Amino acid sequence: MDTFSNLLMGFSVALTPVNLLFCLIGVVVGTIIGALPGIGPSAGVAILLPITFGMSPVTAIIMLCGIYYGAMYGGTITSVLINVPGESSSVMTAVDGYQMARKGRAGAALGIAAIGSFLAGTGSVVVFTFLAPLIARFALSFGPPEYFALMVLGLATLSGLTGRSVFKSLAAAAFGLLLSFVGMDIVTGVARFTFGKPDLLSGIDFLPVAVGLFGVGEVLASSEQPVELEITRADLSLRKVFPTVADWVRCRWSILRGGIIGFLIGALPGAGATMASFISYAVEKKSSRHPEEFGKGAIEGVAGPESANNAASVGALVPLLTLGVPGSATTAVMMGALMMYGLHPGPLLFEKNPDFVWGLVASMYIGNVLLVILNVAFVPAFVNVLRIPPTILQPLIVVFCMVGAYTLDNNLFDVWLVLLFGVLGYFMKKLDYPPAPLVLALVLGNLLETSLRQSLIISGGSMGIFVTRPISALLLLIAAVVILAPVVRFLRGARRTRAAHA
Amino acid sequence: MRTAEILGGLVVLAVALVAGTQAAGMTYLVEGVPGPGFAPVWAALLMAVCGVGILVEAVRGRAEGRFATGAAAWRVPAMAAAFALVIWLVPYLGMLIACGLVTVVLALLMGERRWGLILAGAAGAVVGVYVVFQYWLQVPFPRGFLGW
């Protein structure tokens, strides 16, 4: 079947009433999660994952993806109206979006963000539709060494690019790997790191860890200073939300540039929507004829980053679905979810489960249409959600974390794990240890070890297999550069400091 | 803050040491192929190297992050302890009552004093959990002394 017939088949899956309903629920919940400060898409997907246990895999992943890209839309609302980004990928939006709101142009900021996100998001889905099958076909030739190298690259880039200290990011990744080894070794049957606890024999599932780190950890951190949000009064009627012709003329290239930057950056493991929006903002400022307006309410400063973060969320699905290697915390949680449903992300997914893959792709077209309607016509309704006091909202998030973790195995042990990782998540946040490498390593750990073992069986125990095969050698070289560059910078800085003191 | 950074580095080193010691007791290679101890040894080693790096950064004065002081400093441990207490009480109270209780206790600890709002939040939590998890997903929750 060619791409068009696959896509048509995908629409026949995505347009069933139940899938449409859960796509709508996903994008609405995603918009709310994106709008609420202190809870990001990773937490939202992890916390709501247990709700999908009774659904078919395609319905479940349509809803989870809806939450993911819906959150990118929702983050704009708080950035513009209260100067508090709903999540990190909307930080740059706050710079000019809030200034626009102060000048009485909140509607235009939200409108251009929604429409730019729609155009860039839909454009990215079109690129994804044609690019993903090609990558998947290419990846079919990958063997265990290439997969091992890919996973090392994914972990290295995420660790090298998140957080301010590469040592802290790598420590988090190493801890995630160690957690993934807990339980019975699948090859030899030896119990590892179980400390005599029968509950640990089956290993530590990623869900309580992700829910604890992203959900409870965030609640604990933000509970130190619960602040009621003061929302800027703004006319958000339909007429005010539609951009003017002048706005369109100023933003058309920003949206295109943001979309391209977002898709490319999003597809890189470790980079993600936040970096895409930062780069897009910098590019817009540099290419503008009026750079002095940036920071004072330039509409391109909203259109570019918002288009970029939405395109990045689609780009991030490329390595997940075609190679089976997630590049961000949210896609790592989604990979864990796919494995729970008995699906194995990677090139074979396109051959073995075409209805799933193409149903998901088609749902993203539908989801983007639903989101632009919701974010243009129903912004005031989402603003009302922000009026729920955090002193009530955050306990409700804890309740959802507690019940969701229990649902995994109907076992209170998982709820204790949520608390444990929640406290760990709090300290990690306070000391700037990024949680994303930990979750990614936990999800990938067993696959990484299996690929390593398979590679060494093929080579008869020689590590040379990783450097004699060109693709794995190249991937490992890139991984080494990504990790070693900050370490070299750190050592040079230390030498310079010593020289200055001498 | 530097003390917290140093403590963080020491915890990373300690975890690496415990994991490395455990991993050293596992078979490293089985007929030339990685055994159960191979990957854990390397992960523990990586963590130990990172622990040293974190300590060096901390000693050089790279301090990030801020902990709350004053009354707010007690809020996080109090919330964690309250959550632990509620988990411990789940088999006795049942999951639904525990959900209501955790909402009330955490809201109070966060400084909320509007009882109408707190009770509405708790009722919403109980009803939401019942409808989504017990009724729709048929999750067999622990039942407490009241039978629900």
* ipTM attached to this prediction: 0.94
| pTM reported for the whole predicted model | 0.90
Instruction: Give the gap in angstroms from C-alpha B46 to the nearest C-alpha of chain A.
Output: 6
| Neighboring chain A residues of B76 at a CB cutoff of 8 Å | 220-221, 223-224, 426
Which position has the token pair 């095969």?
A469
Query: How big is the A-B interface in CB pairs under 8 Å?
Result: 199
| Whether the Cβ atoms of residue A321 and residue A129 lie closer than 8 Å to each other | no
| Chain-chain contact of A389 with B91 (C-beta, under 8 angstroms) | no
Does the distance separating the beta carbons of A453 and B36 come in below 8 Å? no
CB contact under 8 A, B47 and A461: no
* pLDDT reported for residue A499: 78
Phi and psi, residue A206, nearest 5°: -70, -25
User: Rounded to 10 degrees, what is the CA torsion of A320, A325, A326, A332?
Assistant: 110
**Phi, psi angles (nearest 5°) of residue B2:** -65, -35
- Distances from the Cα of A100 to the Cα of A110, A264, B16, angstroms: 10, 29, 50
Q: Which of residues 42-101 of B touch A (CB under 8 A)?
A: 43-44, 46-47, 50-51, 53-54, 56-57, 60, 62, 64-68, 72-73, 75-76, 79-80, 83-84, 86-87, 90-91, 95, 98-99
Min Cα–Cα distance to chain A from B69, Å: 9
Contacts of B33 (CB under 8 A, 6+ apart): A453, A456, A457, A461
Query: What is the three-state SS of chain B?
Result: CHHHHHHHHHHHHHHHHHHHHHHHCCCCEECCEECCCHHHHHHHHHHHHHHHHHHHHHHCCCCCCCCCCCCHHHHHHHHHHHHHHHHHHHHHHEHHHHHHHHHHHHHHHCCCCCHHHHHHHHHHHHHHHHHHHHHHCCCCCCECCCCC
Contacts of B109 in chain A (CB under 8 A): 223
Instruction: Please give chain A's pLDDT, 502 residues, in tens.
Output: 688 899 999 999 999 999 999 999 999 999 999 888 778 888 899 999 999 988 899 999 999 999 998 988 888 888 888 887 877 788 899 899 989 988 888 888 999 999 999 999 999 999 999 999 999 999 998 999 999 999 999 888 888 777 788 999 999 999 999 999 999 998 888 999 999 899 999 999 999 999 999 999 989 998 887 666 666 666 667 677 778 888 888 899 999 999 999 999 998 876 778 889 999 999 999 998 888 899 999 999 999 999 999 999 999 999 999 988 887 888 989 999 998 888 988 888 988 999 999 999 999 999 999 999 998 888 888 888 888 888 999 999 999 999 999 998 899 999 999 999 999 999 999 999 999 999 999 999 999 999 999 999 999 888 999 999 999 999 999 999 988 888 787 778 777 777 777 6
User: Which chain B residues have a beta carbon less than 8 Å from that of A415?
Assistant: 87, 90
Structure tokens at B147: 């039978």
Within A140-195, where are the H helices?
144-161, 166-180
Is the minimum CB–CB distance between B144 and chain A shorter than 8 Å? no
Task: Spell out the domain ranges in chain B.
Answer: 2-59, 72-136
In chain A, domain spans: 3-501
**Look-up of token digits 């915390």:** A329
**Which of chain B's residues have a Cβ under 8 Å away from the Cβ of A407?**
133, 137, 139
Of B91, B102, B121, the CB nearest to A402: B102
Q: Are A116 and A254 in contact (CB under 8 A)?
A: yes
Residues of A whose CB is below 8 A from B32? 456, 460-461
Q: What is the per-residue DSSP string for A428-496?
A: HHHTT--SHHHHHHHHHHHHHHHHHHHHHHHHTS-TTHHHHSHHHHHHHHHHHHHHHHHHHHHHHHHHH
